[in-house]
Amino acid sequence: MYLKRHIEEAVLRRAKAKGAVVVTGARQVGKTTLIENLKPDIPRITLDDLPTRRRATTSPSTFFSITPPPVFVDEVQYAPEIFHYIKILLDESHNKGDFFLTGSQSFELMKNVTESLAGRAGILELLGLSLREINGENWNKPFMPTFEYLKERGSVKTSMQIPEIWGKIHRGCLPELALNADFDWADFYADYIKTYIERDVRRLTQVADENSFYTFMTVCAAMSGQLLNLSSLASDVGISVPTAKRWLSVLKTSGIVYLLKPYSNNAISRAVKTPKLHFLDIGLASYLTRWTTSENLSVGANNGSFFESFVVSEIIKSYTNAGKEADLYFLRDGNKKEIDLLIHENNTLYPIEIKIKAEPDERDIRNFNMLEGIKGVKVGEGAVICLANSLLPLNEKNYIIPLTMV
């Protein structure tokens, strides 16, 4: 069964404007299924198949004469030789939507797209299922903590009880697992990590010890929702800081983690300049850190930071699924005062706190005053995103927003 993905409209919009549409993202987020269901009438070529890959790399001109566009090429990063020929075909035809290209390894894929298809390709990133998609909602607007957004969003939100929310967080966002209750959670992630390390990581970097990379992933998962500390990370794994930096880049470029940028301004005293690390799939982070049930996760030592990462990932998905790039930050000063998330749009900062409580109060937004006095930037409406049941005003400018309204 195919679950309609919210990014579909963005894919079709790009196809009307560009000769090629490139959909990248982590392994098993549903890229192939997405294009197959959007474009069932065009042939699909998978370069995961070795004989097909060999024909594509040795003679790309003949390859596309046998299967002319419009065409869907899956795992396109395995045959970089065809990118130049796609460019030639697009320059000759000036057609729109002739090529749909997907690939899991975004570093290799984007390198070839940048070099050969600049200006000719629309590029989108597909993440795992959003909570909106899992709940079958049609709401597809980027999240904003504003009255206009919340008024419209409130009419279509899904109500969920707290145990159900933690169940969805723990189950994870990969479609095959999230939509099939019969799939064993631990077995699925064990196989996923094994495939990821053996196929993707080996291609992206030379890892001498795969066990060390697994340990590295586990330590990163334990740090989800926290400031990135490369020295501590390297020490815990027993690798050098340059190696830790290179391996972190692998996790980032392959869609496993997101580095949330720190916001800095001269008006803020000693603002932290280190990013925050967020896993994009808390199911995977929970597996790596051995939170084996949603009940244990909901009361465990990582519950606050994992919940924060989940909310950040949901907000990111709300933008990527709309075909937009979110301009997100967090803020921490030298006194450890922090705002969990800042959305920057139209020269305005919208502050957000993320809490696992159900009844936040004005004390939870006391750090919003850190934004006062910043010249040249407006401060917009703000919010506490939490486990509350209903949308409520916190004061005249800030709201209590249930997770289900993100």
Give the pLDDT of residue 197. Answer: 83
Average pLDDT on 273-287 reads: 96
Give the pLDDT of residue 406. Answer: 94
Give the pLDDT of residue 107. Answer: 66
Kindly report, residue by residue over 359-370, the tens digit of the pLDDT: 999 999 999 998
Domain boundaries, the chain: 8-125, 131-405
Answer yes or no: is pLDDT of 122 > 70: yes
Confidence of residue 208 (pLDDT cuts 50, 70, 90): low
User: Of 116 and 52, which is predicted with more confidence?
Assistant: 52
The distance from CA 53 to its chain's CA centroid, rounded to whole angstroms, is: 28
Torsion on CA atoms 11, 318, 327, 364, rounded to nearest 10:
180
Three-state DSSP class for residue 344: strand
The gap between the terminal CA atoms of the chain, to the nearest Å, is 26
Give the pLDDT of residue 37. Answer: 95
Q: Which of 72-76, 205-209, 381-385 ranks highest by mean pLDDT?
A: 381-385
- Long-range own/partner contacts, residues 313-317 (CB < 8 A, 24 or more apart): 313/127, 313/173, 313/258, 313/278, 313/279, 313/280, 313/281, 313/282, 314/130, 314/131, 314/143, 314/403, 314/406, 315/143, 315/341, 315/343, 315/406, 316/127, 316/258, 316/280, 317/127, 317/128, 317/130
Strands 121-125 and 20-24: parallel
Q: Cα(384)–Cα(367) distance, rounded to whole angstroms?
A: 12
| Topology of the domain covering 8-125 | Rossmann fold (3.40.50)
Kindly report, residue by residue over 298-336, the tens digit of the pLDDT: 999 999 999 999 999 999 999 999 999 999 999 998 788
Candidates 99, 112, 125; CA nearest to 10 is 125
- Cβ atoms of 128 and 281 within 8 Å: the answer is yes
Kindly report, residue by residue over 38-72, the tens digit of the pLDDT: 999 999 999 888 888 888 888 887 888 888 899 99
